Amino acid sequence: MSENTAQTQVVPVSDQSAQAKVPAIEMINLTKTFGSFTAVDSLSLTVRQGEVFGLLGPNGSGKTTTINMVSGLSKPTGGTVKVMGYDIRHHVRQVHRLLGSVPQETALYEELSAWANMEFHADLFGIPRKEKIGRITAMLELVQLQERKDSPVRTFSGGMKRRLALARALLHNPGLIYLDEPTLGVDVQSRRAIWDYILLQKEQGKTVLITTNYLEEAQVLCDRLAIIDHGKLIAVDTPQHLQQEYGGSVIEVETAQPSKEVGKIRALSGVKEVIQEGTHLTITTQGVNNVVAEVINILSQENEIKVINIREPNLNEIFLRLTGTALRD
C-alpha cells in the first residue's frame, strides 16, 4: 500500500469535527513477543479523547512495552494500535507530532539552561521563530520556572526537572500527553503542582495517559484505569466503579477478646475474606449483601465490641485482589 493510499484511510488531523469522534488511543489485539516470552498478550483497550487514563500494573506486567508500541518506539508483533486515528505502523511521524512525552528518565541536557533545552525542542518540532519565544515563556511560567530560565539544568532539583520535562512536552501543543511515573522521586509540594498541571491539560481538552505506582495519584487524577498483569488486561473502569465492583466494603472490628467465631463470619454470604490479628478483625465483603448486622450479631453473643468501622476499599487492596501482586513488586 502506498503512503498516499494509507493516508486516505485515516481521519485528517485538520478535520477537527471528524477527529473528535475517533479514540485518542485504540489498541486491538496488541501483542508483543520477545522470542518465546510474551510481554503483551492480545491487549485491546480504548482511551477516549479528553480523559486522564491510568495504566497500572506491577513491574514486568507489560506497561512499558505497551507504551513503547503506542509511541512508535517498538513495533507490535501482532494486532494494531492507532493514535488519533493514525496507525502507528504507517504514520509514526504524524503520531510523534501529536504526542508529548515525559519518560521516567527526563533526558534533559544537564549542562544547558532551561531556556536552551526548551529552544532545542521548539526547533526540533519546527515551531515558527515568531511564536517560539512566547510559547517557551508561557510554558516556563506555567511550571513556575521562568525565574530559573538561564540556570543550568544540573542545578535543578528532581521536582524542577520533572516540571521542566513537562513544560517541554507541552511546548508543541500536543493533543495526547504521555507521562511515565510523573511524580516519581519528587517532594510532596512538587507532586501537587504536577497534579495541577495534569488536571489543567484535561480542562483544556487534552488527553493524558499516565503510568503510576502511586495509588493515590491514580485516584486523584484518572477518569478511568486499566489494570494489566502478565501482558493481559485484568480490569478497566473508573476508580469509583472498580471499588464498587471488586471491592465491596471493609469492616474493621475491635473486640475485647480474640473471637472464636471467625469460621461463622467466613461462612456468611457476601464475605470474601476475614483476617484476624489478635482482637482485631478485618472483614472484606463482596457484592451488594449487607452483612454488618450479621457480623455484629455473631460477635456480640460471645464478646464485647469496642470499635466497629466500615469503609470503602482502597485501590491498593483492589489491585492486590485482582492480580495477587503488590503494585511495587
- For residue 172, is it within any domain? yes
The count of structural domains within the chain is 2
Whether residue 42 sits in one domain with residue 170: yes
Whether residue 271 sits in one domain with residue 211: no
Signed CA dihedral, 257, 262, 264, 265: sign only = positive
pLDDT in tens, 271-324: 888 889 999 998 888 754 578 888 888 988 888 889 898 887 777 777 777 777
Whether residue 132 sits in one domain with residue 95: yes
Whether residue 92 sits in one domain with residue 44: yes
Q: Which of 242, 258, 285 is a domain's end point?
A: 242
Distance of CA 314 to the CA centre of its chain: 16
Q: Which of 212, 242, 272 is a domain's end point?
A: 242
Q: Are 249 and 306 in contact (CB under 8 A)?
A: no
Question: What is the spatial distance between Cα 251 and Cα 242, in angstroms, rounded to a whole number?
Answer: 18
Strand partners, 100: 177
pLDDT of amino acid 156: 94
Low-confidence ranges of the chain (pLDDT < 50): 1-17, 288, 329
- For residue 320, is it within any domain? no
Whether residue 278 sits in one domain with residue 235: no
pLDDT of amino acid 119: 95
Instruction: Dump the DSSP string for 251-292.
Output: EEEEESS--S-HHHHHTSTTEEEEEEETTEEEEEE-SS---H
H/E element, 188: helix 188-203
Question: What is the spatial distance between Cα 22 and Cα 1, in angstroms, rounded to a whole number?
Answer: 23
Of the candidates 88, 45, 39, 47, the residue with the CA atom closest to the CA atom of residue 63: 39
Whether residue 120 sits in one domain with residue 185: yes
Whether residue 282 sits in one domain with residue 225: no
Whether residue 174 sits in one domain with residue 280: no
- For residue 324, is it within any domain? no
Q: Which of 242, 258, 280 is a domain's end point?
A: 242
pLDDT in tens, 217-253: 888 999 999 999 999 999 999 988 887 777 667 889 9
Domain range enclosing 270: 249-311
Distance of CA 185 to the CA centre of its chain: 16
CB atoms within 10 A of CB 105: 9
Whether residue 291 sits in one domain with residue 187: no
Question: Cβ contacts of residue 281 below 8 Å, gap of 6+?
Answer: 251, 252, 253, 254, 255, 259, 262, 265, 274, 275, 299
Of the candidates 53, 61, 89, 58, the residue with the CA atom closest to the CA atom of residue 74: 89
pLDDT of amino acid 151: 96
Q: Which three cell numbers stand for residue 147?
A: 525565574
Q: Which three cell numbers stand for residue 135?
A: 510559547
Distance of CA 277 to the CA centre of its chain: 34
pTM (two decimals): 0.76
